[in-house]
C-alpha cells in the first residue's frame, strides 16, 4: 500500500512538472481561428510621457470553470522590445479567485520589472519602443480543446477564455483619466454551452448557433 501511494505521488509530481515545462515553452500566442480559444480588444496604446494600457484578467470561479485557465496575451500592431513574437506576448495561468495585471508601457516608463511594485508573479509587462504605439490585443487560451468538458463531481467544467473576466483602460497619468477597453469573447459576452436539454446552445441542438465557450456577440 505504501509503495503504491509513493508511486502515485511521484506520478502526479512528474505530471505537474511536465505541465509546467510545457507552458514555459509557450513563448508566443498559438495560431488558431477557434473562437472558443480567442478573446480580443480592438484598441490599445502606449505613448511616451502621455499614456499606457492596463488590463486585468480575472478568474471569477464560475461553476462552469476549471480552477486553472492558461492564456497567452499578445499585442498586435505595435513595435515591442524585443520586437518579436516573444516580446509582444506574455503567458500565464489564472487560478480561481486570482487577478493578473498586464501593462503595455513604453521602454522609458517607470512601470517595469525593476520596480518592486510590478515584479510579483501576477504582474506582466509588455514593453514597447520609445515612440507612440497604437494597436490591439489578442488573448488565446492555451488549452487546445476548449469545448471539451471535464466533469468534477456532478458539474461540467471548461478550460477556455470565456471563463475569465477581462477588463482594461488606456490610462493618461497626467490627468488621471482614460477610456475603457472592451473585450469580446470573455465571460461577459460568451456562453459556455452546450445546453443540457439540447435545445439551442450545444453543437447537437436542433437550433444550434454556438458551441461551448464561444463568444456570441
pLDDT value, residue 202: 45
pLDDT value, residue 6: 45
Q: To 5 degrees, how large is the angle CA 173–CA 73–CA 79?
A: 65
Question: CA-to-CA distance for 179 and 187, rounded, in angstroms?
Answer: 21
pLDDT value, residue 32: 86
Neighbours of 121 (CB within 10 A): 8
Mean pLDDT across the stretch 23-33? 68
CB contact at 8 A, 137 and 44: yes
Q: In terms of Cα–Cα distance, which of 190, 185, 100, 101 is closest to 141? A: 185
Question: CA-to-CA distance for 167 and 121, rounded, in angstroms?
Answer: 19
Residue entry with cell 477597453? 181
Of 48-62, 106-120, 171-185, 189-203, the range with the lowest mean pLDDT is 189-203
Query: Where does the pLDDT of residue 189 fall: very low under 50, low under 70, confident under 90, or very high at 90 and above?
Result: confident
Q: In terms of Cα–Cα distance, which of 115, 114, 67, 118 is closest to 93? A: 67
CB contact at 8 A, 54 and 173: no
Percent of all residues in the chain with a pLDDT value above 90, rounded to a whole number: 67
Q: Is the pLDDT of residue 199 over 80?
A: no
CB contact at 8 A, 26 and 140: no
CB contact at 8 A, 53 and 181: yes
Q: What is the pLDDT of residues 71-98, one digit of tens each?
A: 999 999 999 999 999 999 999 999 999 9
Q: In terms of Cα–Cα distance, which of 207, 179, 180 is closest to 193? A: 207
Q: What is the pLDDT of residues 1-15, one digit of tens each?
A: 545 444 444 444 443
Cell of 10: 511521484
Neighbours of 139 (CB within 10 A): 23
Mean pLDDT across the stretch 143-151? 93
Q: What's the distance, Cα to Cα, between the start and end of the chain in Å?
A: 54
pLDDT value, residue 29: 77
Q: Hey, which residues does 45 pair with through a beta bridge?
A: 134
Amino acid at each position: 500500500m505504501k509503495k503504491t501511494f509513493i508511486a502515485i505521488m511521484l506520478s502526479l509530481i512528474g505530471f505537474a512538472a511536465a505541465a509546467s515545462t510545457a507552458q514555459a515553452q509557450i513563448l508566443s500566442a498559438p495560431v488558431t481561428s477557434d473562437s472558443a480559444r480567442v478573446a480580443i480588444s480592438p484598441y490599445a496604446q502606449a505613448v511616451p510621457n502621455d499614456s499606457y494600457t492596463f488590463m486585468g484578467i480575472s478568474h471569477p470561479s464560475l461553476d462552469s470553470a476549471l480552477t486553472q485557465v492558461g492564456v497567452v496575451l499578445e499585442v498586435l500592431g505595435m513595435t515591442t522590445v524585443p520586437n518579436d513574437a516573444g516580446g509582444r506576448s506574455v503567458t500565464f495561468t489564472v487560478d480561481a479567485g486570482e487577478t493578473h495585471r498586464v501593462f503595455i508601457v513604453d521602454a522609458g516608463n517607470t512601470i517595469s520589472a525593476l520596480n518592486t511594485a510590478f515584479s510579483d508573479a501576477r504582474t506582466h509587462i509588455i514593453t514597447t519602443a520609445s515612440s507612440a504605439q497604437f494597436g490591439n490585443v489578442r488573448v488565446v487560451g492555451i488549452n487546445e480543446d476548449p469545448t471539451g468538458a471535464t466533469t468534477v463531481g456532478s458539474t461540467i467544467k471548461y478550460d477556455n477564455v470565456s471563463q475569465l473576466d477581462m477588463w482594461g483602460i488606456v490610462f493618461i497619468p497626467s490627468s488621471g483619466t482614460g477610456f475603457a477597453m472592451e473585450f469580446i469573447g470573455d465571460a461577459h459576452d460568451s456562453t459556455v454551452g452546450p445546453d443540457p436539454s439540447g435545445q439551442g446552445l450545444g453543437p447537437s441542438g436542433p437550433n444550434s448557433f454556438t458551441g461551448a465557450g464561444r463568444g456570441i456577440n
